[in-house]
Structure 1
Amino acid sequence: MAFWGGGTAGGWSHSHYPTGRSAGSALKRSGDGWDDDELGKLYDHSVMVRLLPYLKPYRGRVALAIVGMLAFAAASMTQPFLIGLAIDKFLQTGDLAGLNVIGGALIGLALLAWAGQWLQQMSTAYIGHNVLLTLRTRMFDHIQKLSLGFLDRNEVGRVMSRVQNDVTVLQELLTTGLLTILADFAGLGLVIFFLLYLDVQMALITFVVVPLLIVAMAFWQSRARRAFIRARQAIAIVNANLQENVSGVRVVQSLSREEENIRRFDQVNADNWSANVQAGRLTATVMPLVELLVATATALVVIFGGLRVLDGSLGIGVVIAFALYVQRFF
């Protein structure tokens, strides 16, 4: 048993604390006491069911956030359609009155998108902070009831990591995360609708890159999950080391263990750096991949759409609308 706070990260007893090469292997085995099986699946429906009751007291705000999200999606996804309509129907015919109507509609849609986004963000901010307050309060109450044996087996720094970092992640998942997913699906559905409505053949050409994106994301996700889990475990170990060294600094100094504890902290800090760099590298591969697919889809739209414009079977406004929708599709 350590002399302070439970655990052994830099205290008098250090038989369980990973150092040197063993620190890295401990991370691979789950340095914060969780292995991959315990961390669970990428998506666990039972966990979501347990978390959703935290949103029940704010049903009204959730409804407002959904309304704002739908308004923003509808307004922003309708704009390319109107731009294409203005080019093909009014600009090429010199119909100034029609252009004024479309211009006014675009301004109205921009205002609607702004109002929808404002309503969504204000509602999610209110919900998010209240959910965070509830989660942390309940977590703190639960910690007060834990046994001394639990606190001895688990470093206080890692418990603090759960209360601070993981609770914040749960709050973001329940508020911003869920609504973002809904907004993405709503926007994606509207984009697909407009693409098919404008021209089925061009829509199918645009969808050619989608299977490539699905395969690439599935390949990336299988590696990213393990990297992000390792990063979470690494920061938990750093938090444990920091907390217990600071709270036990008197014992450390009385035993002249400063150099040893500095060496240990350097090791866990280096492991944390390595884990986050690896996660960052994987993250850095996503956006360039998406941009490449956007460029590919845009090129297909320009080439095939341009050929159809030349033979008179498609309006240039439709091609421009498709190019704009490609930016939103991904």
Structure 2
Amino acid sequence: MSEQNGNSRDVSGGRMVTMLRPFSGRLLLVVFLLALLAITNMAIPFAVKLLIDDVFPIGPDGSGDWTLLWFILPAVLLIYVVRNTLFYGSRMSSLRVSEDLCFSLRKRLFEHLQQMSLRYYKAHQAGKIGSRVLDDTYKIQAFIQDKLPTLLLNLLMGQVLLVIICVVNTRLAIATTIILPLHFITYRYFRKPIRHSHREAQENLSTAYGNLVEKFLGMEVVKGFSAEQRESDRFRKAIDASRQSQIRSQQYHFAQKVAADLLIGMGTVLLFGYGALEVMKGRMSGGTFFMYFGYVTMLYPAVLEIISGFGHLARATASAEPRL
């Protein structure tokens, strides 16, 4: 059974890569824009360090370098202009990729369905087929449009942030990143139940949709035999199964985020404790600590979003599995 699940996972993941391959050029553009955005986001904590260590009044005379402030203020404004320009460009590019992919995928599915034999249509509900063509492709479209850019951005930011915090203070970096392997274990633990529950939810939803369409098409027969109550009970059971499976799918997803957030809390405690010790011993200035704290507060949410993004990826690959 585990080998079969592994093969299914490889097939669905391979299909996702195959679907995205024609758009590799535009996806590389998205990655490039997101990489620039990730680097741009690193500037704000550094500006905070300059304010605390160089601009604010320090020393016996209580004076600071106020001329530096007039360079920092327009630089911060420019950073926000650049980051929003990069954000808009990356999101619009991913939007076009998702729309073009969804259009191409639905067109190919429809052409494939036209080649199927009559035996296939007799064995499968028309509404169920329609749900798979529209709903499954929409899940893939929504992932590429919304979740994939966020996942890529946080992956890039996570790598840049890890390098920065190790350069700033290696000892503190070890203390604050020691929990990161536990995040990977959390992802591995929840990946299989998320995929399984989402696949089950998709199947139940398409069954309920197919049941609904068939009842509308056969309403004359239903009314002729006064079978309204029987059909109502059957439809209620179908949508209840879909409801329960959707709840299970979201429950696993929420539990994964809760576990990841608790790990982030542990890392924050280590950061405060060891960081305060570094400042008191004179191995780190106050401004450097606040800069470091800013980078870590960016790293931990990025890790959380990466965990969540891979959960959405598992659900999207489940939608990419061949079921027609």
Tell me which interval the TM-score lies in, with the shorter structure as reference length.
0.7 to 0.9
Where does residue 210 of structure 2 map in the other structure? Answer: 240
Give CA-to-partner distance per residue, 1:284-324, whole Å, 9 cap, x none.
22333233222222221111111121121111222222222
1:273 aligns with 2:236: no
Name the CA distance, whole Å, in 1 between partners of 2:213 and 2:109. Answer: 19
Name the CA distance, whole Å, in 1 between partners of 2:127 and 2:32. Answer: 41
Give CA-to-partner distance per residue, 1:128-171, whole Å, 9 cap, x none.
22222221122222222211011111111221121111112233
Name the CA distance, whole Å, in 1 between partners of 2:28 and 2:189. Answer: 35
Name the CA distance, whole Å, in 1 between partners of 2:169 and 2:198. Answer: 41
The 1:42–1:50 alpha-carbon spacing in structure 2 relative to 1, beyond 3 Å, is closer
Name the CA distance, whole Å, in 2 between partners of 1:326 and 1:319. Answer: 10
The 8 Å contact of residues 301 and 319 in structure 1, kept in 2 or not, is answered as no
Match of 1:51 among 15, 19, 24: 19
Where does residue 81 of structure 1 map in the other structure? Answer: 46
1:40 aligns with 2:8: yes
Where does residue 65 of structure 1 map in the other structure? Answer: 30
The 8 Å contact of residues 91 and 145 in structure 2, kept in 1 or not, is answered as no
Name the CA distance, whole Å, in 1 between partners of 2:253 and 2:10. Answer: 17
Say which is worse superposed, 36-45 or 284-293, in terms of deviation: 36-45
- The structure richer in helix per residue is 2
Aligned residues between the structures? 292
Name the CA distance, whole Å, in 2 between partners of 1:41 and 1:199. Answer: 40
Alignment of 1:299-314 (within 5 A): 299-314=269-284
Match of 2:181 among 211, 221, 229: 211
Alignment of 1:194-209 (within 5 A): 194-209=164-179
Name the CA distance, whole Å, in 2 between partners of 1:297 and 1:50. Answer: 38
Where does residue 136 of structure 2 map in the other structure? Answer: 166
The 1:46–1:125 alpha-carbon spacing in structure 2 relative to 1, beyond 3 Å, is closer
The 8 Å contact of residues 127 and 209 in structure 2, kept in 1 or not, is answered as yes
TM-score, structure 2 normalization: 0.82
Three-state SS of the structure 1 residue aligned to 2:284 is coil
TM-score, structure 1 normalization: 0.81
RMSD: 2.3
Give CA-to-partner distance per residue, 1:221-264, whole Å, 9 cap, x none.
23222221211111111111111111111122122221111111
Shift of 1:111: 1.3
Runs of 4+ with deviation above 4 angstroms:
36-39, 42-45, 173-178
Q: Percent identity?
A: 22
Give CA-to-partner distance per residue, 1:4-61, whole Å, 9 cap, x none.
xxxxxxxxxxxxxxxxxxxxxxxxxxxxxxxx749811675532342134426xx3x4
Any stretches of 5+ residues in structure 2 without a counterpart?
Answer: 59-63, 304-324
Name the CA distance, whole Å, in 2 between partners of 1:255 and 1:105. Answer: 76
Where does residue 308 of structure 2 map in the other structure? Answer: none
